[in-house]
């Protein structure tokens, strides 16, 4: 995942605070700053669920460290949210709902560059 002005986001591992516990992994900005809870090791057992959690963690880091919504819908300039749409984790925009229509899927998570 990338932010044009700030470089790619990264997964950052930090040592655990307690002996015998696994290290903690966070979604961080290119400069290493992060915000929010760490990703739990059991998350990896369910790939779609893990993708949604990483996407949400990325949004939290961007929102809290850069004070901006990300990613934005190109059509509505609104922040999007990760949703399971027919088994595919996708970026969903609520933009059309403001005009009485349904929201819409913009791209699969991980495929924004092709949108």
Phi-psi region of 77 (alpha: psi -120 to 50; beta: other; left: phi over 0): left
List the chain pLDDT tens, one digit each, 115 residues: 557 788 889 999 888 888 887 788 899 999 999 998 788 766 667 788 888 888 999 999 999 999 999 999 988 889 999 999 988 999 999 887 656 678 899 999 988 875 4
| pLDDT confidence of residue 114 | 53
| pLDDT confidence of residue 99 | 63
| pLDDT confidence of residue 115 | 46
| pLDDT confidence of residue 65 | 95
Question: Would you give the DSSP letter of residue 1?
Answer: -
The C-alpha atoms of residue 91 and residue 106 are separated, in whole angstroms, by 6
Domain ranges of the chain: 1-68, 71-115
Phi-psi region of 97 (alpha: psi -120 to 50; beta: other; left: phi over 0): alpha
| pLDDT confidence of residue 2 | 59
Cβ distance 55 to 63 under 8 Å?
A: no
pTM of the model: 0.81
Beta-sheet strands, E only, within the chain = 2-3, 7-8, 10-14, 24-28, 81-85, 88-93, 104-108
């Amino acid at each position: 995942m990338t932010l044009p002005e700030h470089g790619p986001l990264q997964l950052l591992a930090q040592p655990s605070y307690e002996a015998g516990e696994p290290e903690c992994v966070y979604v961080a900005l290119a400069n290493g700053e992060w915000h929010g809870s760490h990703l739990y090791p059991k998350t990896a057992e369910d790939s779609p669920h893990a993708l949604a959690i990483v996407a949400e963690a990325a949004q939290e880091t961007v929102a809290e460290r850069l004070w901006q919504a990300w990613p934005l819908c190109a059509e509505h300039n609104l922040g999007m949210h990760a949703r399971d749409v027919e088994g595919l984790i996708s970026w969903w925009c609520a933009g059309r709902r403001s005009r009485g229509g349904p929201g819409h899927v913009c791209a699969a998570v991980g495929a924004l560059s092709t949108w």
